[in-house]
Amino acid sequence: MVRIYYKEGRLIKRETDVRELGKLENPLWIDLQSPSQEEEEWVETKCDIDFQTPQEIVEIESSARFFEQHDTINANSNFLQINSNGYQTYPVSFILRGSVLFTYRRGDSKTFADTVKKMKVSPDTFQTGVDFMLMLLETRIEADADSLEAISRDISSISKDLIREQKARQEVLIRISSLQEITMMLRETSIDKQRVLSGILRSQYFPEDRKEHLRIILKDISSLLEYTTFNFERLEYLQNTFMGLINLEQSQVIKIFTVVTIIFMPPTLIAGIFGMNFVSLPTSGWSWGFWASLLLMVLSSFVVLWFFRKKKWI
């Protein structure tokens, strides 16, 4: 699907028929979402541009993430989205030629939908394709910030649960690991945007009057990176707390087994002595010897238990 946003007076309108592209006088943003080969070739022919292949878009080299070609800025960045499988990244390709922005992506994205909503509320804000590009980046960063705040709330919830229950549960460790993975993905995408935008900021083809806005976005990304570092530290602290609780539980179990073993050592010794088959064994002919030995074994256990409690070992 191809969406063409163009200026008509003070209004910004949308056209979905790619064949109308050559007839529009003032296109600002051409958004290609999972386009067909015919639509892609039509846009390339009419606008005299070349889109990168999906393999080239996902390349991690700096030369592939950002480069300039004649009077055109090409930038590729990874966006984060939430779907039925959790958090996933997807690549977005930006091509800025003059006042027209081209975006190429696979699948739907809430970031793009939110940007269109902002455009409908305040169309005067969008004068060129650069404004659309900046708004897309701002919207994505706002969404990332919301995700980090949600993670921070989850961390606080887990911390309170651990303090209240004082018990290590497997699902808690799974939640901590999941939050670490999401935070890592947010950090990776933020660093990716920071690297790409730093390249755009140095470009001679990017409007000078918009570079200050770009610097503000870079500062916001730096704040996000600091926030992710803070969340990482909290998650690491929670993980250490969780492991500490496990060690305490294991120590308690070992302590119980140790106490039980020691308590039963004297009775075992007494039973072993009275179980010796020697004719000259004292009390061997005593009619109350069996009950006396049982009483002695019970008393020995209680004496050891009393001694442990007095020493506050249990």
pLDDT in tens, the chain (314 residues): 888 888 888 888 888 888 887 778 888 999 998 888 888 888 888 888 888 776 766 665 555 678 888 788 888 888 888 766 677 888 888 999 888 999 998 877 888 889 999 998 888 888 899 999 999 999 999 999 999 999 999 999 888 888 787 776 778 888 888 899 999 999 999 998 998 899 889 888 888 988 999 999 999 999 999 999 999 899 998 888 888 888 877 777 787 777 778 777 888 877 777 776 656 666 666 667 777 777 888 888 888 778 777 777 66
Q: Tell me, which fold does domain 2-247 have in CATH?
A: Beta Polymerase; domain 2 (3.30.460)
Show me where the domains of the chain are located: 2-247, 253-311
DSSP 3-state of 203: coil
Return the DSSP state at 19.
G
In the block, residue with structure tokens 């190429």? 104
User: Which residues, 6 or more positions from 35, have their beta carbon under 8 angstroms from its beta carbon?
Assistant: 1, 2, 43, 104
CATH code, residues 253-311: 1.20.58
Cβ-Cβ contacts under 8 Å for 292 (sequence gap 6 or more) = 283, 286
Element (H, E) at 139: helix 129-165
Of 296, 266, 298, 293, give the one whose Cα is nearest residue 281.
293
Residue 204: what pLDDT?
86
Tokens 């018990």 belong to 167
Task: Please tell me the distance from the alpha carbon of residue 44 to that of residue 235, in angstroms, as a whole number.
Answer: 47
Q: Are 30 and 43 in contact (CB under 8 A)?
A: yes
pLDDT at 257: 77
